[in-house]
Structure 1
Amino acid sequence: MADKISQRNKFDVAMELLNLYIRNASVNPDDFGKIFSEYYALADTLSRADEYYLKTLVPDEILEKLERK
């Protein structure tokens, strides 16, 4: 079976990150909007970055593992 690639938009990414954060940290519900906004801004910024810049954010150890595949 072919791998199914799922493309998420910035809103989806921000929601997933918010949900992960909420599951792993004690968060006041009043802060959800602020946290979501920060994750959305991050997703928006990274969606406009080129792949060479993004690779500088990934540790060499992980890049090496990806290149081996």
Structure 2
Amino acid sequence: MSPSSKKAFALRVDPALYAAIERAAADDLRSANAQIEVLLREALARRGIRVKPPVAAKRGRPPKEEG
């Protein structure tokens, strides 16, 4: 999923809550943004709301062209 295909919006969060998210993100080797996405997906799953998994970013070199 390219960065431009994600919805951007402002989120106001209590500083203590954001600090806890940053600590959890560091423990999981994620950014705070990615940690918030994980937490939201987990919370929705607990409520029985299914969300399609994110499309993984393509990594590495493109395959060589034969010719």
Q: TM-score, normalised by structure 1?
A: 0.30
Larger radius of gyration: 2
